[in-house]
Amino acid sequence: MKFGIDIGHNCPPDTGAVGVEKEDKLTKAVGTFLMQKLAAAGHSVINCTPTTAVTVGESLRKRVEKANSNNVDVFVSIHFNAFNGQANGTEVFAISNTSKAIARSVLNEIVKLGFKNKGVKSTPFFVIKNTSMPAILVECCFCDSKADMDRFNAEKMAEAIKDGLIGDTDTDEPKPAEGKKYLLKVTQKTVLKPTTEQSSEIPKEALVDIEPGEYPILDFRYEEKHYWVKWVDKSKAERDQHFIFDAYGKVVEAA
């Protein structure tokens, strides 16, 4: 899988909040660790953080353009909140249903570190509104909260985000390896879904029937008891990505 990682701010005049710690310092630490961890797990990583910009608007546009021009599969923007010194916790922003499923997975992992769960929200920030792939913006915690900063560890935060994106690399679930080809093996007739939500909660027109068989795929990941797969074309309801419940299908290495 190809990830686009955006280290929030860090491109004057686009600079972050200042509290107990500076947001620019925190996002750079987490983003750097995250890129290293994703690469170590065998994924492609594109750093979408610009090095120069004349305005904040240009900085934001460059981030989006880098992700779109590189056709990344998932875009992740790293940020830290600031408010009144008392607010604390983690929230993740996403717009599409697919993005929200990824956001929930990431949020659940960060909350395990002890941060307050402030939920998945859909404010249409520029970088997640204008990217052409599933995109999330992670507000890791509050940089002006002493409680959050006392709890915060950059590498652990990056590890949590990584686990939310691709799963815990210590599990036995399959993970894509460079140079290998994979198949989705469907064991009984079921439906493909745009998200990990239950089929009953998804509009019928968004579901795609699939028969038992083996189907070639380009990429995959495992999350919330589902496989996300990327198809070789858009022949299935004009989409090249779907989720399938793991009770009805699994990813296997092609012979």
pLDDT value of residue 173: 57
Q: Are 60 and 127 in contact (CB under 8 A)?
A: yes
Lowest mean pLDDT among 161-165, 171-175, 182-186, 196-200: 171-175
pLDDT value of residue 171: 46
Chain segment 91-118, per-residue pLDDT in tens: 999 999 889 989 999 999 999 999 999 9
Contacts of 203 (CB under 8 A, 6+ apart): none
Task: Supply the CATH classification number for the domain 182-253.
Answer: 2.30.30
> For 170-180, what is the mean pLDDT?
67
pLDDT value of residue 170: 46
pLDDT value of residue 168: 60
Q: Where are the domains positioned within the chain?
A: 2-166, 182-253
pLDDT value of residue 1: 83
Q: Are 135 and 75 in contact (CB under 8 A)?
A: yes
pLDDT value of residue 233: 87
Q: Confidence class of residue 86 from pLDDT cuts 50, 70 and 90?
A: very high
Give the percent of the chain with pLDDT over 70: 97
pLDDT value of residue 167: 74
Helices (H) and strands (E) in the chain, counts: 6, 13
Task: Supply the CATH classification number for the domain 2-166.
Answer: 3.40.630.40
Q: Are 186 and 249 in contact (CB under 8 A)?
A: yes
- What single string gives the DSSP state of each residue in 141-175? EETT-HHHHHH--HHHHHHHHHHHHH--TTSSS--
Torsion angle defined by CA atoms of residues 172, 174, 175 and 176, in that order, rounded to the nearest 10 degrees: 160
Q: Are 129 and 95 in contact (CB under 8 A)?
A: yes
